[in-house]
Amino acid sequence: MASGRALLSALREGLRPRRTATRDRGADHWDVSTVTVTGALVTRLTTAVAHERNLFIYLYEEQGEDADRVVKLRSSMVKRGDDLLTSTLTIGEILVKPARVGRVDLVRQYEQRIAQAATVVPFDLDAARAYASVRTDAPIKGPDAIQLACAAAARTNLFITNDERLSGRTVPGIDFIVPLARAPL
């Protein structure tokens, strides 16, 4: 039985995980009600999926193709029982716009919605250590490194971003980093 590394390899090669209805082990793919990648089976009871700030913004503003994709992704996650994670930085960044225009009601609403939907991972000592490791890769900017560090500290299976520069990077503590466009639904 293949591990999550097979899925990582498939995602890096641009293959899309897919669900199948077959249990035919003689075929080049098979499924036992989990995510299936051609030639490999990945089993995991619960998946920890981290979203960076932009995905929450798309979800709350509900505009455009990215918003539709995030809504579908979140719906799939709920059906599978996946755990949604995000960092405290996400909350801070999402609150900037409503705070700037004095919308205290939106500030509270966004805080509550995120807290209800996701586990908010703090930037603690473990995250600080992960941050130092991530920042050794010079092209990664501070806020992105904080997002990745919090996800790594929480031992995230899948980090979904809309920043292509982060996609495919290797960060200890995060199994896969994929762009929203290739996120397995």
CA distance 101 to 70: 26
CA distance 14 to 9: 9
pLDDT tens string 15-71: 333 333 333 333 333 232 334 333 334 444 568 999 988 898 888 877 788 989 999
> Which pLDDT does position 46 carry in this prediction?
60
> Which pLDDT does position 5 carry in this prediction?
45
DSSP, res 118: S
pLDDT tens string 98-114: 999 999 999 999 999 99
Task: Write out the DSSP string of 112-123.
Answer: HHHHHHSEEEP-
Does domain 46-182 match CATH 3.40.50.150?
no
pTM: 0.73
Q: What are the start and end residues of each CATH 3.40.50.1010 domain in the chain?
A: 46-182
Largest CA distance in the chain: 61
pLDDT tens string 118-146: 999 999 999 999 999 999 977 899 999 99
